[in-house]
Amino acid sequence: MTDNKTIDFNIVADDCLIATGADSEKVISFLEGLKDKYSDIELIAIFNYFLKIEYNADVLCWLIKNLDKFRDSSSLEPLTNLLLMKDYTPNASYDRDYYTNVRCLCAKAISNLKDHSSVHTLLYCLNDKNENYKVRLSCADALGRLGDKYAVTTLMDVVSDENEKSVYIRESAAVALGLIGDIRAVDSLVGVLEAQNGIMNKFSYLKEKVVEAICKLNPNKNSRVFNALKNSLSDENPQVRINAIEALMDYESDEAYELIKNMLTDEDDEVKRNAVIALYNIYGEAFLNEILSTEKYSVVCRDEAKNILENENDYE
């Protein structure tokens, strides 16, 4: 293999038709061929260099995906510069939006490097309301995967911002808060539920993600959270009700368990099934046998109880 220091990147770039405007499939075929010629360390250096000079989006996406497989710290700088479009002059044929998917992949690859110094870059893009919303979404997702608690305050502001034009950004912020797992986020998340309680509109999926995040944070013995989850059991969105059931399981209180039992008569079959599963996790097989031994429960509940017992017996 070639010594990394002796590689002439410009010659390799010329051989691969990098930054020439050549057909992307042809360029990528040349790039694939490099894998048989160079070591992983050398490929990382070559691909990092190509990120700085290539302008075809398809080729850039290929480079980012392959660098993401290596997850080498040396890729942080070129990935960051490309995400920010810093010192980057696209070909005159393309505008900034042409690179949206490229930049989204950059955000994901950056988070996979697990370098917490990148949190500032990701927050910068997330906070820029003039930025492409897909890029902002990707940065919110990346902050969740990175798991840096420095991002919590900003994510709390985003999820609570009713002036945010894209509800999807708020949803991604809620998911990120759940992944980071900082209990400070609870008040902001509960505030969203309180503001949107009972509303079946474009915020429906946001409520799903908020309840899911609360479940991950597991804020037991918090009466405000408990009341918000209790109210969520009557939400018009079945998935919100299902997520609330899961969250209430962790409360380990008779009141929480009674609320879950009430969901056995829910109008939605999937909600009923999840209530049966939750109560099985709480009480064990005894509760399933109770469901099967009385006619007061619906066919859906009885069938789910029967399925669980059969699966348990098959496992044994």
pLDDT tens for the chain, 316 residues: list them: 444 558 999 999 999 999 999 999 999 999 999 999 999 999 999 999 999 999 999 999 999 999 999 999 999 999 999 999 987 655 656 788 899 999 999 999 999 999 999 999 999 999 999 999 999 999 999 999 999 999 999 999 999 998 998 999 999 999 999 999 999 999 999 999 888 664 446 678 899 999 999 988 877 667 889 999 999 999 989 999 999 999 999 888 899 999 999 999 999 999 999 999 999 999 999 999 999 998 899 999 999 999 999 987 665 4
- Residue whose tokens read 């709390």: 156
Q: Give the H/E segment covering residue 34.
A: helix 24-34
- Cα four-point dihedral sign 178, 182, 183, 184: negative
- The C-alpha R_g of the chain, in whole angstroms, comes to 25
Which pLDDT belongs to residue 91? 61
Q: The pTM is what?
A: 0.86
Which pLDDT belongs to residue 153? 97
Task: Determine the longest span between alpha carbons in the chain, in angstroms.
Answer: 80
Which pLDDT belongs to residue 93? 66
CA–CA dist 229, 88 (Å, integer): 48
Q: What's the gap between Cα 260 and its chain centre?
A: 28
Which pLDDT belongs to residue 197? 60
- Residue whose tokens read 């810093």: 86
CA–CA dist 171, 166 (Å, integer): 9
DSSP readout, 53-92?
H---HHHHHHHHHHHHHH--GGGHHHHHHHHTTTT----T
The amino acid occupying position 195 is A
CA–CA dist 310, 305 (Å, integer): 9
- Residue whose tokens read 């946001």: 206
Residue 128 and residue 110 in contact, taking contact as beta carbons nearer than 8 Å: no
Contacts of residue 29, Cβ cutoff 8 Å, sequence gap at least 6? none
